[in-house]
Amino acid sequence: MVSPLTAGDPETLGDYVLDARLGEGGQGIVYLARTRSGDQVAVKLLSAGDAHTRARLARELEAMESIASFCTARVLDVSLDGSRPYVVSEFVDGPSLADRVSMRGPLRDGELERLIVGTATALAAIHAAGIVHRDFKPANVLLGPDGPRVVDFGIARAEGAATMTSGLIGTPAYLSPEQIHGTPGAPASDVFAWAATMVFAANGASPFGAETMPAAMQRVLTLEPDLSALPVRLRGPIAAALSKDPARRPTARDLMVALVDPHSAAVNTPGPYGGPPPGPVHLTGPQSPALTTQTSPRNRRRGALLGGIAAVVALAAAGGALVLFNQGQNGDKKQTAASPPPSVARSQEVSPALQPSTQATAGDLKIPKAFAGSWSGHTKTNLITDQNGADNTLVLKTGQASAAWTEKDGEVSCTAQITLTAVEDRRLTFALERFTGVCVAGTIQLDLAGEVLKYHWTDGFAIQTGDLRKG
């Protein structure tokens, strides 16, 4: 959307006269400008960067020269020497996908299919040049008169170059699960974001959108988007691209081939992302789980507040299911709950190495007197998306088999009755159940160290730790 220049905007940049604003993002401001001959161009004025950032940008722009101009906005000029660098590119006279959907609703039929195939081709070309976009989203797809163009490489990076920042980069509702867990953007991440963007085009709403950033990220981690608005023959490739596991996603090139040739096996063969093939993806009807908004099987086990990224109603594990651990450290004496039925053990993904060495009924497990009391403290996770942590409170009563647990992160909170699953001389292990609020499933271990209770929560991937004290 074009808007007037503001008082702080320059009138010119080099030989270019600035006429209006086209947009603004984390990397700078994009202007509609004119050349000396009167041709319209887009000028992106970047935030001032250090020598390292400018060198990275120069490498990236050089790599972009090999990308076909039919699918991106061609770079025309670059200035890296002034106080603020800028990049001049071809002006695409058309709305962004975000604006198009906002004004006229979802795309349909041939218009939608041309978008899907065109943007997949663009992404394949970008990756072939060694570039990772890292912020593929509806606002970065322009619908020109000659077809869609993928734009805004301000946060892309050439493969092998240093990352631009150490923080999270991208738009939450279009980040891949691995980026939310702190892994830098990669081609597989772009594929996930591309697929989410195509679902937006078909549905008219972001598939993982939410009112808050934590809620959006939690939806990315746990929810499967509704693909029913997509043409049947395109649901399979897009479902494969939305796999929570990056190793199971097809490459952009394989997607491009699969989209133009429905009989191709491209999305069923391993690509450079590694891992096993994604399996058959030719979905034909509404019976496919990918066509619903239910949680994926991998995430049905999730149910403890995970610092700054928890914001969804989680599904509890099956009633009475207990997570089991094996022998304690340093030869501690240990009791464990009886082994669950095989189906429950599989649902909890408890490996054979973690099965208990001794067995007891759940009623035999009691909180020892040494652990009794009301404990509280601040805990932090190992996720890059959660730097603030949370406040935890536990009320442990002698002889009880469960305890009251509360976690609060700003305005987001969760309460639960956690159930004892193992007792050792200086360690208690609990599983969550009957919780209220926004939670993510996990196992809580409490280690008694003098006057301190060492808190450790994990769901098998993320870890949350801290010291709790009586008071």
CATH of the domain at 6: 3.30.200.20
Shared domain check, 279 and 394? no
Q: What is the pLDDT of residue 156?
A: 44
Q: What is the pLDDT of residue 437?
A: 64
Q: How much is the average pLDDT of 357-372?
A: 70
Task: Identify the band that residue 248 occupies on the pLDDT scale cut at 50, 70 and 90.
Answer: very high
At 313, phi and psi to the nearest 5? Answer: -75, 110
65 within 8 A of 126, measured Cβ to Cβ: no
Shared domain check, 402 and 361? yes
pLDDT per position as a tens digit, 78-97 = 887 777 788 888 898 899 99
Residue type, 373: G
Q: How much is the average pLDDT of 451-455?
A: 95
Shared domain check, 353 and 406? yes
Question: How many domains in the chain?
Answer: 3
pLDDT at 394 over 90: yes
User: Which whole-number Å values give the CA distances from 263 to 119, 195, 236, in the listed order?
Assistant: 20, 20, 12
Q: What is the pLDDT of residue 132?
A: 86
Shared domain check, 345 and 413? yes
Shared domain check, 231 and 210? yes
Burial class (CB in 10 A: 0-12, 13-18, 19+), 44: buried
141 within 8 A of 133, measured Cβ to Cβ: no
pLDDT at 451 over 60: yes
Q: Residue 238: left (phi > 0), alpha (psi -120 to 50), or beta? A: alpha
Shared domain check, 293 and 156? yes
Task: Identify the band that residue 383 occupies on the pLDDT scale cut at 50, 70 and 90.
Answer: low
Shared domain check, 142 and 76? no
Tokens of 126: 């970008």
CATH of the domain at 229: 1.10.510.10
CB count within 10 Å of CB 317 equals 20
- Domain residue limits at 112: 94-162+170-298
Shared domain check, 148 and 76? no
Q: Which of 43, 75, 91 is the last residue of a domain?
A: 91
CB count within 10 Å of CB 1 equals 12
Q: What amino acid positions are annotated as catalytic residues?
A: 135
Q: Which of 91, 114, 149 is the last residue of a domain?
A: 91
Shared domain check, 423 and 393? yes
Contacts of 48 (CB under 8 A, 6+ apart): 83, 84, 85
Share the mean pLDDT of the chain: 74
Please state, in angstroms and rounded to a whole number, the distance separating the CA atoms of residues 120 and 109. 17
Q: Which of 91, 112, 137 is the last residue of a domain?
A: 91
Shared domain check, 198 and 258? yes
pLDDT per position as a tens digit, 146-172 = 889 998 754 444 343 333 333 345 578
pLDDT per position as a tens digit, 18-34 = 999 988 765 678 899 99
SS3 of 61, please?
helix
Burial class (CB in 10 A: 0-12, 13-18, 19+), 274: exposed
Shared domain check, 312 and 221? no
pLDDT per position as a tens digit, 274-316 = 444 444 433 322 222 222 223 333 332 233 444 333 322 222 2
CATH of the domain at 354: 2.40.128
Shared domain check, 122 and 22? no
Q: What is the pLDDT of residue 214?
A: 80
Residue type, 311: A
Tokens of 107: 């795309």
In this structure, the chain runs to a length of 471
